[in-house]
Structures are given as C-alpha cells and as structure tokens.
Amino acid sequence: MFVAVEDDVLGTVSRDGNKVFTMFIHPRAAGQGVGRRLMRHIEALAATDGYDHMETGASITGHGFYHRLGYVDVRTSETEFGLNYILRKPLP
C-alpha cells in the first residue's frame, strides 16, 4: 500500500503485481492530482517488475478517473453493489 500524506492522509493505493486493488482519495484532496500521482507510482513499479499492462475494477464513480489516466474498458460485471467496470492500460 502506498500513502500520500500532507499533514494528514490524502490518499492510498495498493497493488498486487499489475492489479490495482484499492484506491482511496480523501474528499478534500479530490481533483488535486493525488490519485494521478499514486497511480503513476504503482504503474511505474509494475512496469519495472516486467508487466506490460495494469488492470483495475471501478464503480461508476471511479470509471471516468481511470479513463482520464488512459485505461480502457475490457468488460463489465454486475455486483451486489452495482455495475463494476474492468479496465486495462498498457504500460511503457
């Protein structure tokens, strides 16, 4: 897990290999680039580890965020919490 801190926790992200498992950005930090920086960090780590893409699941609220980072829809699935988008991004 990686944590962005500035006087308090602004956001977290965790990964396993090339899979993003959790992403949280404090509401007061939304739109300030914290999530983008955290994602770039774990994408770079995955590329260094030899992966050619990242993959994540997202609810409708996070879907646009991942699109703005270059992720594309692979498939969707229904969960008990609503629609889940599976997205993928090639790594350099």
* Residue pair 46/55 in contact by the 8 Å Cβ criterion: no
Residue in the structure block whose two tokens are 């991942």: 66
CATH fold of 2-90: Aminopeptidase (3.40.630)
- Sequence spans of domains, the chain: 2-90
Q: What is the mean pLDDT of residues 67-81?
A: 93
Report the distance separating Cα 4 and Cα 35, nearest Å.
Answer: 9
pLDDT tens track for 2-56: 677 677 778 999 999 999 988 999 998 889 999 999 999 999 999 999 999 999 9
> How many C-beta neighbours within 10 Å does residue 56 have?
24
Give the C-alpha distances (Å, rounded to integers) separating 38 from 3, 13, 64: 8, 7, 16
pTM of the model: 0.87
Alpha helices in the chain (DSSP H): 34-48, 60-68
